[in-house]
Amino acid sequence: MDFFTNNLAESLLIIGLILLVIEVAVLGFSTFVLFFVGLAAMVTGALLYVSILPDSGLGALFSTGILTIVFAIVLWRPLKRMQSSVSPKKAQGDLVGHQFVLKDFVSPAVSPSYHYSGVNWTLISDEAIEAGTRVEVIEAEVGAFHIKAVNLSQ
């Protein structure tokens, strides 16, 4: 405890940095509480380091609390707006766009399997596709490929 009080500015900078890393890396910036507290602890540590604030535990605690509230009031709406502007488009993986020639007939009622990359994938199609037709993966789910016939005349 003596190390913490003797090196209060440096300790607050480290604690603030740890809180920011936890918020971003572990929680994925989903809650802002640790972000506000971490930012306030880092600013308080910087103010203590340049001797703008008195080097006391009570002053540091008070400053961190006030700065947390100020950051929450000022940054809440912009961060919430940033968080809500997520694209609704599905992310495409490496498997989407993979083309191959069907060995079996596929239809909405018939879903054969296809071995690719060490996995047996169930083939799903909205239309009937004959064996020997070149197809493309349009969507990949866990254990399933949604496929469509490739038009070679394009």
pLDDT band at 40 (very low <50, low <70, confident <90, very high): very high
| Boundaries of domain holding 59 | 2-84
91 domain residue, yes or no: no
Whether 108 and 78 share a structural domain: no
Residue range 73-108, pLDDT digits in tens? 999 888 888 877 666 666 566 788 889 999 989 999
Nearest to 67 by CA among 31, 92, 108, 36: 36
pLDDT band at 28 (very low <50, low <70, confident <90, very high): confident
Residue 12 has a CB neighbour count (10 Å cut-off) of: 26
Query: Domains in the chain: how many in total?
Result: 2
Whether 20 and 72 share a structural domain: yes
Please calculate the CA angle 19-25-96 and round it to the nearest 5 degrees: 165
Single pTM value for the model: 0.56
Whether 80 and 119 share a structural domain: no
Q: Residue 144: CB partners within 8 Å, gap ≥ 6?
A: 121, 122, 123, 124
| Residue 36 pLDDT | 95
User: Percent of the chain having pLDDT more than 70?
Assistant: 92
Tokens of 26: 């572990």
Nearest to 16 by CA among 50, 45, 57: 45
Nearest to 98 by CA among 136, 49, 44, 57: 136
Instruction: Work out the average pLDDT over 59-66.
Output: 94
Distance separating alpha carbons of residues 124 and 121, to the nearest angstrom: 9
Last residue of a domain, which of 60, 84, 108? 84
